[in-house]
Amino acid sequence: MSSSRDKLMKEYATDQIVVEWEPRLCSHSHNCVRSLPQVFDDSRRPWVKVDAATADEVEAAVELCPSGALRTRRIGAPPIKREQPLEVCASANGPLLVSGSVRILDADGAVLYEGEKAALCRCGRSGNKPFCDGTHKEVGFRG
């Protein structure tokens, strides 16, 4: 199940904010692109242009990411630790959306991911299980 994407993390920064993107977690919901297209444009490289909006606008757009693939941190500010109860929600025709203190383990008990959000494959066709990779859209998953 290991791939070259397993540990890949990209960062895009200004002097106020850093956007982190972990591709292996991305479910390709395009919430970021729809909410702030001047910053997030998957047709250009680099696809994130953090300086095209205010830090507050970027932070708000990243908050809409259901998978946790996008995260932000403010330069010079301590990390914010949110204490939320664990919640699992089946999205319409899409992944299981997990939020709260998320910890995902493999069959041997090794930690695959820890964070505040994750999108888990529900269609069974993801090439990046247990994470959703957006394949449900291509295969017409309904559920």
Distance CA 7, CA 112 (A): 10
3 state SS of 119: strand
- Residue 82 in this model has a pLDDT that exceeds 80: no
For residue 6, name the pLDDT band (cuts at 50, 70, 90): low
To the nearest 10°, the Cα dihedral for 49, 50, 56, 59?
90
- Residue 83 in this model has a pLDDT that exceeds 90: no
Could you give phi then psi for residue 63, rounded to 5 degrees?
A: -60, -25
What confidence tens digit (pLDDT) does each residue in 21-33 have? 999 999 999 999 9
Count of beta carbons in the 10 Å neighbourhood of residue 21: 21
pLDDT at 34: 98
- Residue 3 in this model has a pLDDT that exceeds 70: no
pLDDT at 119: 98
Are the C-beta atoms of residues 129 and 135 closer than 8 Å to each other? no
pLDDT at 78: 86
Distance CA 46, CA 12 (A): 9
Q: What domains appear along the chain, each with residue ranges and CATH number? A: 10-74 (3.30.70.20), 87-139 (3.40.5)
This prediction's pTM: 0.86
Nearest of 98, 17, 8 to residue 57 by alpha carbon: 17
Of the candidate ranges 5-19, 30-44, 112-126, the one whose mean pLDDT is the lowest = 5-19
